[in-house]
Amino acid sequence: MAKKLILKERKLGRERASGQAYPDDGLIEIDPRLTPRQWLSTLIHEAVHMAFPEAPEPSVAKAERVITAILWRAGIRRIHQ
């Protein structure tokens, strides 16, 4: 994983994805049209891919669900500035 993280919002309709992670480039892309909870969930999903690029998708998805639920219950929300 690159030392610096770039978080970019880009419509990902053509890719049929909510988000994408590029660990070697330190880049996470997230579709800006997502709801706040979907956006948080996608960010977590892609962050897990960044931290563990070789992790199997079922493990990444499980971590995403658990972490999203915890952070959402704790009141973590995305605030547009």
What is the domain range of residue 12? 6-73
Distances (CA, A) of 64 to 14, 39, 74, 81: 23, 12, 15, 25
Give the CA angle between residues 34, 78, 29 to the nearest 5°. 50
pLDDT, one tens digit per residue, over 65-80 is 999 999 999 999 988 7
pLDDT, one tens digit per residue, over 26-55 is 999 999 999 999 999 999 999 999 999 999
pLDDT band at residue 3 using 50, 70 and 90 as cut-offs: confident
CB 78 within 8 A of CB 30: no
Q: What is the C-alpha to C-alpha distance for residues 75 and 14, in angstroms, rounded to an integer? A: 32
79 occurs within a structural domain: no
Based on the structure, what is the number of domains in the chain? 1
Going by C-beta distance under 8 Å and a sequence separation of 6 or more, which residues neighbour residue 62?
none
CATH label of the domain that carries residue 47: 3.30.2010.10
54 occurs within a structural domain: yes
